[in-house]
Amino acid sequence: MGVVELTGVGHSFESAGDVGVRWMGYPWSAEFSGRWESQEIESESLKGNPLGDPYVRPTYIYVPPSYDKSDRRYPVVYVLQGMTGQVDMWWNRSAFRKTTPEAIDAVVADPEVQDAIVVLVDAWTSYGGSQYLNSKGTGDYLDYVTKDVVEFVDSNYRTYPKASMRAVMGKSSGGYGAMVIPMLRPNVFGALATHAGDAAFEWSYATDIAQSARYLRDVFDGDYERFWTDFRSRPAFSKSYDASLSNVYAMAACYSTDQDGTVRLPFDPSSGLIDDEVWSRWLSLDPVRMVKDHAEELSLLRGVWIDAGRSDEYFLDVGARCYASRMESIGVSFHFELFEGRHGSIDYRYPMALRYLIGCLTD
């Protein structure tokens, strides 16, 4: 088990003048209070997965400043990425903002926040993502997260190995995972945060499904294989139809793959007619609809954070409100917020939810 410590050299400077700009660190480096470790997890759950994707996965694990100075145990927050995310992308920097690892360090290093371990999970697939579910189309990613990743962390770090001291959070598809995993595996996580997570499927997937039907009709004669051949022959997302077509197929691979591995679309690719049987399979995995059947499991949660941008282009603000309404109907308390914003550039919300979740994890 190799460990690579990821550190940076911090600098600061001040700029005089009317605006009084003050930088705390050049934008290409940071000095961490805690430590990030790069690990690899060999996943039994992903061995032999149908896409032939790697079963050895990179993982970044943050240990707080106090970790090497004591023998105490720590709560853990697991962070899930959205569609097309792979774990090293957390280190990408947006203009004038901290990277997510820097933001996590700033939260945990705050003396008003209890120390915690934070785990950045990789669940990328050749279709772009897994929705953190077990599927014959992508692999057993629900088991990978809840068994392989959690067991690795508990075996190699001083954690509290119980649900009440673990939380899960994510954005978009990661937010979807954060919503459904506690329902499907209630003995693993005790709190969740979802930022614009996939929910209320009749709203959030409608545009992509309609656009995909149109593109298949006009460009690919209803043949998805022709799209994938085209997509893989050039730079990804270099054509206008790439995002819709790849996303809809990836969702179908997660939500409606038969036991023999056949990926079933929720619409006829030639006519665009909705296939009611397949669409019902999608809806059965909609967090909004799942809540009523998992009231007992959800009642065990110590904290729930729900948010989304008011102008989310996938109507995930509507999905968030629907999910919150269902949670309210079963008596689960939560923090809910709609803020000014769309689907992208909402990473500044993550530290808020992280602070909230850590506060929920008490022995």
Rounded to 10 deg, the angle between the 206-219 and 224-231 helix axes is: 90
More confident residue, 160 or 15: 160
| pLDDT digits 0-9 by tens, 234-291 | 999 999 999 999 999 999 999 999 999 999 999 999 899 999 999 999 999 999 999 9
Averaged pLDDT, 99-125? 96
| pLDDT digits 0-9 by tens, 281-329 | 999 999 999 999 999 999 999 999 999 999 999 999 999 999 999 999 9
Quick one: tokens of 243? 């995002």
What is the pLDDT of the chain when averaged over all its residues? 92
Task: Give 282's contacts (C-beta < 8 A, 6+ positions apart).
Answer: 201, 205, 251, 255, 256, 266
The pLDDT of residue 94 is 86
**Count of H-run helices and E-run strands, the chain:** 13, 13
Pairing of strands 303-309, 191-195: parallel
123 closest CA partner among 78, 178, 81: 81
- The DSSP bridge partners found for residue 119 are 61, 78
Where do we find the tokens 């990277």?
A: 99
Quick one: tokens of 102? 């820097």
CB crowding 97-119: b at 16 or more within 10 Å, else e: ebbbbbbbbbbbeeeebebbbbb
Statement: residue 11 has pLDDT above 50: no
The pLDDT of residue 30 is 74
Averaged pLDDT, 331-354? 96
d(CA 144, CA 146): 6
| pLDDT digits 0-9 by tens, 13-68 | 333 333 333 344 456 667 899 999 999 999 999 999 999 999 999 999 999 999 99
The pLDDT of residue 221 is 93
The pLDDT of residue 10 is 36
d(CA 105, CA 126): 31
Q: pTM for this one?
A: 0.92
The pLDDT of residue 21 is 39
d(CA 351, CA 110): 11
